[in-house]
Amino acid sequence: MTVEKYVASEKGRLLQELVEFLRIPSVSTDRDRKDAVRDAAEFSAAALRRVGLQATVHETPGHPVVTARGPHVPGAPRVLVYGHYDVQPPEPLELWHGDPFEPVVEDGVITARGASDDKGQVYAHVKGVEALLAVDRSLEVNLGFLIEGEEEIGSPNLPAFIEEHAEELAADVVVISDGAMVAPGVPTITYGLKGLTYVTVELRGADRDMHSGAYGGGVPNALDALCRLLAGLKDDSGRISVAGFYDDVLELTDEERAAIGRVPFDEAAFRREVGIEATPGEPGFTLLERLWARPTLDVNGLSGGFQGEGAKTVIAAEAMAKVSCRLVPDQDPRDVLQKLRAHLQAHAPDGIEVRVRSEGLGYPAMTPLDAPSVAAASAALRHVWGRDPVFARSGGSIPVVADFQRLLGAEPLLVGFGQEDDRAHAPNERFAVSDYLQGIRVSAALLRSLARPGA
């Protein structure tokens, strides 16, 4: 029997098991669902035990972490599969076609919270091990799993857990399926993720809001100052003006630019999808290069002064902005934080106090295109899909990926099974049944290929 025949013969059961997993409302940010989050951890551990791995549910200061380990194979590569069993809150509930935790399978698509992000994708790896063992009767890699319950809240306890269990989790390669292919039917290896520096910028002028007639022209306006500061963060071409911001940016190689150029991408369709007529940005780079491989700075929110209906003539004493910087290798988020803070404070207008508070930091991550794990993954995807994969970087951030590099010295290997329009984090999240089953086949092929990375 082949893996392909096994998956075809067990299709109904494989799908039903995922439905059961998706029924668990494991919303990590919801305190009232703490027991449900634990249920999802126990479900994950039980599923791993059923396929023959030794699984453990570990306590943390937050939600549990599940680890599993296969039999020791002397001299074989060490492969760790990472995923998460927690999900985003389902709200707004009125926009769902049904109960977000009562999965519906219709027209070849399963709709439920967590279907694609990330229960469906990580469970495909669990079932990939099952299929491989059913056919080959053994594993040729030293296999481990790490499935956490706090990814959707920033994995606050995971770095410390990895550090504490570094020997148990030791790996040459960390396989992660928590993303999407660039297009349906186009197997994709994501070899780079952006990092993040996220800040709250707070400005203070007078000790209270002032009458704009009595004090206008003589009292600093925090909102006016904020607008000037934010406008000064970029030049007219869209290039970031913060001194030293680009100092450590790892520039695109000719090979990478060629690989990105081969990705099937319709810029006109992109504009239609997001409802815009232009795609402005840093000159000298294509749209995909800017989205995936160039650092960015964006204002995410603003507040201050009077915002109610009608008019109120005041000079704002306080103003606030949320600003995020997406970073590329080899930028350091703490270094960027210092440079951003220095820029804003140095350019503050007279009479305005500026405070910059960090809200989140994450390191970028990248695996070289010539890494053995990338070659092995390419061979596995080629075997399953019958075509060469494309290589992509992502504008998103998964901070734990850099933690695996930093704490374990492991190469991250990101192979997404989902689609960009799976509506992750949105109402009516979905996952194509064909993508789930193909993910199982890819997982099995990947473990075989990683066992012989030079073959």
Say which CATH number the domain at 312 has: 3.30.70.360
Domain that holds residue 437: 3-193+364-451
pLDDT reported for residue 55: 98
Q: Are residues 87 and 65 in the same domain?
A: yes
Would you say how long the chain is, in residues? 455
pLDDT reported for residue 154: 84
Across 218-236, b (16+ Cβ under 10 Å) vs e yields: ebbbbbbbbeebbeebbee
pLDDT reported for residue 396: 85
Q: Are residues 209 and 176 in the same domain?
A: no
Q: Does 283 map to a domain?
A: no
Q: Does 261 map to a domain?
A: no
- How many whole angstroms separate alpha carbon 242 and alpha carbon 233? 6
Tally of domains in the chain: 2
- How many whole angstroms separate alpha carbon 380 and alpha carbon 364? 26
- How many whole angstroms separate alpha carbon 280 and alpha carbon 283? 8
Q: Does 315 map to a domain?
A: yes
* CA-based nearest residue to 423, from 18, 96, 84, 20: 96
- How many whole angstroms separate alpha carbon 336 and alpha carbon 352? 23
Q: Are residues 68 and 199 in the same domain?
A: no
pLDDT reported for residue 452: 82
Q: Are residues 308 and 369 in the same domain?
A: no
Domain end (from 328, 362, 396): 362
Q: Are residues 310 and 446 in the same domain?
A: no
Q: Are residues 32 and 145 in the same domain?
A: yes
- How many whole angstroms separate alpha carbon 375 and alpha carbon 389? 10
Q: Does 338 map to a domain?
A: yes
pLDDT in 10s for each residue of the chain, 455 residues? 999 999 999 999 999 999 999 999 999 999 999 999 999 999 999 999 999 999 999 999 999 999 999 999 999 999 999 999 999 999 999 999 999 999 999 999 999 999 999 999 999 999 999 999 999 999 999 999 999 999 999 899 999 999 999 999 999 999 999 999 999 999 999 999 999 999 999 999 999 999 999 999 999 999 999 999 999 999 999 999 999 999 999 999 999 999 999 999 999 999 998 899 999 999 999 999 999 999 999 999 999 999 999 999 999 999 999 999 999 999 999 999 999 999 999 999 999 999 999 998 989 999 999 999 999 999 999 999 999 999 999 998 888 898 999 899 999 999 999 998 999 999 999 999 999 999 999 999 999 999 986 55
Residue 189 and residue 415 in contact, taking contact as beta carbons nearer than 8 Å:
yes
User: What pTM was estimated for this model as a whole?
Assistant: 0.87
- How many whole angstroms separate alpha carbon 61 and alpha carbon 67? 16
Q: Does 272 map to a domain?
A: no
Domain end (from 362, 384, 406): 362
Q: Are residues 423 and 383 in the same domain?
A: yes
Q: Are residues 53 and 170 in the same domain?
A: yes
Q: Are residues 183 and 62 in the same domain?
A: yes
Q: Are residues 186 and 206 in the same domain?
A: no
User: SS3 letters for 86-112?
Assistant: CECCCCCHHHCCCCCCCCEEECCEEEC
Distance separating the N- and C-terminal Cα atoms of the chain: 23
pLDDT reported for residue 102: 98
